[in-house]
Chain A
Amino acid sequence: DGGITQSPKYLFRKEGQNVTLSCEQNLNHDAMYWYRQDPGQGLRLIYYSQIVNDFQKGDIAEGYSVSREKKESFPLTVTSAQKNPTAFYLCASSGGGFNEKLFFGSGTQLSVL
């Protein structure tokens, strides 16, 4: 089945630690996105990539980093500079127009120990 796979489903971060969230897609989509979701809030864009080896900052990129070395993969690193990392993180991809028909993964819940 084609889709977006995020792992792990739950992740705990110690203070000062960097953690990496995995996102893999087999939809052959060019564009991929990372969103952060906080309770009662909409989705806020962290980073996006329209093509391999290129990515752009979204609205809340501070404290996060990404890479796009393969079309299928778009990992997100939450660095120690992100002081409030507890949130639900969603990865998405789109194959049509940019920001159209987003397919989302099942998310990773990150919590701070």
Chain B
Amino acid sequence: QQQVKQSPQSLIVQKGGISIINCAYENTAFDYFPWYQQFPGKGPALLIAIRPDVSEKKEGRFTISFNKSAKQFSLHIMDSQPGDSATYFCAARTQGGSEKLVFGKGMKLTVNP
């Protein structure tokens, strides 16, 4: 079954702290793992993405860590800011002739000032 399980469902951190969002998958035929950020009333926006041939990717305060053997990947937000308060979705794309993008259920992050 093609699923991506995201945890926790919600997270509250203080300004300057580290936010960590985890995702686990079962299908080994995924070849692309993006994270999307969504603000209330808006569409999601691509934040950062990784392919399974690398274990980590960093863009500014955002880092994806990828553990292929554990079938897990996580998003780390360093120095979290109130402006990072949003819902974060992980996703995974199947590979092959009919690629599908499977989304996690999302995690609501609140960063307190």
B-binding residues in A (CB < 8 A): 4, 6, 40-45, 90, 92, 97-107
Contacts and interface: CB of A to CB of B under 8 A. Distances in A.
Contact of A106 (B42, B99, B100): B42
Contacts of A97: 32
Chain B's interface: helix, strand, loop or mixed, by majority? strand
Contact of A104 (B9, B45, B105): B45
A42 B106 contact: yes
Interface of B: 4, 6, 9, 32, 34, 36, 41-46, 49, 89, 93, 99-101, 103-106
Contact of A100 (B93, B104, B106): B93
Given A90-B44, A107-B42, A100 B32 contact: yes
Contacts of A102: 34, 36, 44, 46, 101
B2 to A, nearest CB: 10
5 contacts: A42-B6, A45-B100, A100-B49, A101-B49, A105-B43
A41 B87 CA distance: 11
